[in-house]
Amino acid sequence: MSAIDQLFDRLRQSGRKAFMPFVTAGDPDLEFTADVLRTLVEHGSDMCELGIPYSDPIADGPVIQASYTRSLGKQIKVDEILQAIGRLTPQLTAPIVTMVSYSIVYRRGLEAYIAEAKAAGVAGAIVPDLPVEESGPLAEICRREDFSLIQLITPTTPRDRALRIAQQTTGFIYYVSVTGITGERQELPPEIVDNVAWLREQTSLPICIGFGISRPEHVRMLSPVADGLIVGSAIVRHVASAAEKPRQQVLAEIGDYVEELLAAMER
């Protein structure tokens, strides 16, 4: 049983949902990324997603895209990111998954990337640009290595294709709440609830919802139907403010924000 399977098993037994923030690796530097991840976990996050910067946006909105650009501007390498994760994961009580382009995985070699990520203590990978038709080889390696391969289903995914994606997914399904790119939104479409309810009847995998979630009202709306909620752009925006504010202040603001959303989730 993978670390992610164990996490959701524990959460299910306690009647809780997973809170899963996203952070860009290396924005503004790897030292602060580690501080942010520690803060997120200390304030109650159940799992953290770490974005591996990539030059071509993959459904990334302006906030996350800008964070990738800043990190790439520092010429931070994948090896450095994995080394930093390896130093950090023994200190954390929550698993880390990478959000990584398949181009990076393919270039390093499927076996090699999974081995390197596992050695760094990473529990799984979200590979948003890997089509289900081409996911077989990576899915096979991940199952053999007990390394979760998390794949995305969107509101426009045909239902027969959604079933194929679910069959190739391990850990949890990443359900995209909106059609479009990442980013904070005022409102989320009400049909999410029905879409996730249908998907839940088709699979035993946990279903976690992401894209656009940033407000307590979003959390209250989606918690009853989701196994976990993913918050990205709002966290990344807080991190970006470290260019203008003392870092300790930014960390305190991130901690307060996480606690606000967790309080809404628990209610």
| CA separation for the pair 110, 108 (Å, rounded) | 7
**Any residues with CB less than 8 A from the CB of 73 and at least 6 apart, and which?**
none
**3-class DSSP assignment, residue 33:** helix
Task: Read off the amino acid at residue 59.
Answer: A
Specify the DSSP element, H or E, that contains 48: strand 48-51
- Whether the Cβ atoms of residue 228 and residue 10 lie closer than 8 Å to each other: no
The sheet carrying 148-150 orders its strands as 148-150, 124-126, 96-99, 48-51, 18-24, 228-231, 207-210, 173-176, 152-153
Q: Name residue 79's amino acid.
A: D
The two three-digit tokens of residue 109, written as one number: 């070699």
Rg value, the chain, Cα: 17
Query: Which amino acids are annotated catalytic?
Result: 49, 60
CA 13 to each of CA 6, 61, 168: distance values in angstroms, whole numbers, following the listed order = 11, 35, 25
Report the alpha-carbon angle 221-68-24, nearest 5: 55
